[in-house]
Structure 1
Amino acid sequence: MINRRHIRVKVMQSVYAMQQSHNSDIIREEKFLKHSILKMFDLYVLNFQLIIEVQKLAAKKMALSKKKILATQEDLKPNTKFIDNKIINLIAESISVESYVELNRLDHWQEDDEYVKIIFDELQKSDLYKNYLNTVEDSPKVDKAFVIDFFKEIIAPNEKLADYFEDKMISWVDDIPFVNTWVVKTLSKCKPNKTFNLGSLYKDEDDEAFVSNLFKKTILKHKTYEEDITAKTPNWETDRIADIDMILIKMAISEFLNFPSIPVRVTINEYIEIAKDYSTSKSSYFINGVLDKISKEFLKDKRIVKIGRGLL
């Protein structure tokens, strides 16, 4: 499921897009923001579907080999460990996966089956695959370990596949690392004696509401927040502050003032970490300093009201 940090990243991207395009249609941009998050689930499911399609291709090639005129003993009695993999078969039999694929018409691997072949070819050449086929132990534990390594070592790092995903939807370029981690976590929790079910996109209704609330409150109050920032950066002209830094600080202020259940320190730490990935090398230090000053003044003036452990 999507976590709060990635929600913040998606909101940051939408605020930045509005700012750069000088677009004032907040309703349209909010719809696009929610759509881009929903499409993350497509990417999540496509990875599981790809694993299934690779296994299907292996079974198809095995069946064709048996029909060769000069079939070898290996062709006639192939190693079926991969096509018998209990975890992959569990995913393939999942009504949850099948329903989502049909409902959302995820026919990518039928239309672009060359990527299935690319992944299968790379898998066949790997030591991972050879070692797995030669493993004597036949257990769900071995099968699960193989599928996780297959994804981590073959699928996730494949540059052609990454380029393909990016071409399909530009926002996926930033979602891929998060979704890859999500897939691995899901596979790790998979149990052979239980039905495979896709995870939820959001942890709960609060997280889903957090998307819209953070986005709208940041956009609607950005001028006011800019004044707060200017007051705390007297030696900096507004246009000298990096666009992303300014957006992240405004989002943090929005959290200070509008989300009483999120501790101040949690907010500051989250935006420092996002800055490390999306802004300049010195941005995290700058953002930390500005937010520290602003939060202390807001607390003093009682503009920040937190509940529970919010002030800790």
Structure 2
Amino acid sequence: MQSIYAMHQNGSDSIEKDEKFLLYSIENIQDLYLTLLAALVEIRKKEVVFLQKSADKHLATKEEKNPNKKFVNNAILELLEENNSLSIALQDRKINTWNLNDDYITILLNAIKGSDLYANYMRNNTNTFEEDKEFIASIYMEVIAPNEKLYEYLEDNKLTWIDDIPLVNTEIIKQLKAIKNGKEDSFRVSRLYKDTEDKEYVSNLFRKTILNEKELAKEFEDKTPNWDMERIAEIDTILLKMAICEFLKFPSIPTKVTINEYLEIAKEYSTPKSSIFINGILDNLVKELEQNKRLLKTGRGLM
């Protein structure tokens, strides 16, 4: 949707160039995902260094010499630091963000140590796997994910990351909660695409929508009697074209899935009334396509 909108705004007619940028921006989601996971590893490392320096001070206190190491001994943080899947992915994609921006790790560590979650967690020095897991998932949700300084850094680093942050945070939290004790492969780096068909869908939807925009627009132009076509939000017309493209040219995608997905996108990116408008158009169009036997879906439960 954003790529098609950008093409309209720029007056671009280079499908290849814009498709290349679309795929590049999607690839960057993986870098964002790895960058945020790497932050958890670096946070633990920084606290290890802090505790060591405190203990080595000339006039170190008793508490500094024998600190509560529950946080640095957290099973989830240790697992992530030692995880081969994560280490290989970070190396392959050359993710060294925090080596160059160590101050943000300090900001996050201080925010964690200043939280009630941390205070409650550190009341004793005994680690249990389930408590460790619950703590890290909660810290990520309530301290790291909403951190404004982190958000500003990510926004400045790559503009395309802004819309991807909620998606990536949701995936990381889901994975953290799913880690099981004693299983070496309980955490694996998520794949960007489920399979080759998943990746091909991106290019196919983009190209088929762009190349058939006029024909797709004709499908709904006469179904907006109370709306001036020129006054309909451009995002709405793009979403309608994409949805209709899925109806007609992607037989394996259920119509209900298509409608639900585009309504959610409209709620996020368009006007307050857009989802109602789009839902009405698509609902009527589906009935017409079914009546004219133009809605050719394959597989069970796809209508």
TM-score, length-scaled by structure 1: 0.93
1:185 matched to which residue of 2? Answer: 174
Pick the aligned partner of 1:92 from 68, 77, 81.
81
What code does the residue aligned with 1:265 have?
K
8 Å contact from structure 2 (residues 85, 189) kept in 1: yes
CA distance in 1, matches of 2:89, 2:125: 36
CA distance in 1, matches of 2:216, 2:163: 27
The one-character-per-residue Cα deviations of 1:219-275 (angstroms, maximum 9, x if unpaired) are 110111112221222343321110010000000000000111112222112211211
Unaligned runs of 5+ in 1: 1-11
Q: Spell out, residue by residue over 1:26-80, the C-alpha distance to the aligned partner (whole angstroms, 9 max, x if none).
A: 1111111111111111111111110111111100010001111111110110111
Q: 1:45 aligns with which of 23, 30, 34?
A: 34
Q: Does 1:174 align with 2:163?
A: yes
Instruction: Note if contact 1:262-1:310 (Cα within 8 Å) is conserved in structure 2.
Output: no
Report what 1:203 is aligned to. Answer: 194
1:269 is matched with 260
Question: Could you say what secondary structure the match of 1:281 adopts?
Answer: coil
Residue equivalent to 2:43: 54
Give the whole-Å Cα distance in 1 for the aligned partners of 2:105 and 2:126. Answer: 28
| Partner SS for 1:174 | coil
* Cα shift at 1:137: 4.8
In the alignment, is residue 215 of structure 1 matched against residue 216 of structure 2? no
| Alignment of structure 1 residues 136-285 onto 2, 5 Å | 137-195=126-184, 196-285=187-276
Q: What is the rounded CA distance, in whole Å, between the counterparts of 1:98 and 1:38 in structure 2?
A: 18
Q: Which residue of 1 aligns with 2:100?
A: 111
Task: Give the unaligned 5+ runs of structure 2.
Answer: none
Aligned-partner residue type, residue 197 of structure 1: R
Separation of aligned partners in 1, 2:118 and 2:8:
48
CA RMSD of aligned residues (A): 1.3
Measure how far apart 1:203 and its partner are: 2.2
Task: Supply the distance in 2 between the matched residues of 1:311 and 1:133 (Cα, whole angstroms).
Answer: 51
CA deviation string 1:157-212 (max 9, x = no partner): 00110010011111111111111101101111112322332111122332222111
Q: State the Cα distance separating 1:153 from its structure 2 match.
A: 1.2
SS state at 1:193 partner: coil
In 2: Cα distance, 1:15 partner to 1:299 partner: 28
| 3-state SS of paired residue (1:109) | helix
Asked if the contact 2:223/2:281 (under 8 Å) is kept, the reply is yes
Query: What is the aligned partner in structure 1 of residue 70 from structure 2?
Result: 81
The DSSP-based 3-state class of the residue aligned with 2:222 is helix
Per the alignment, in what secondary structure is the counterpart of residue 171 of structure 1? Answer: helix
Residue identity over aligned pairs, in percent, reads 47
Please give the TM-score of this superposition, normalised by the length of structure 2.
Answer: 0.96
Aligned length: 301
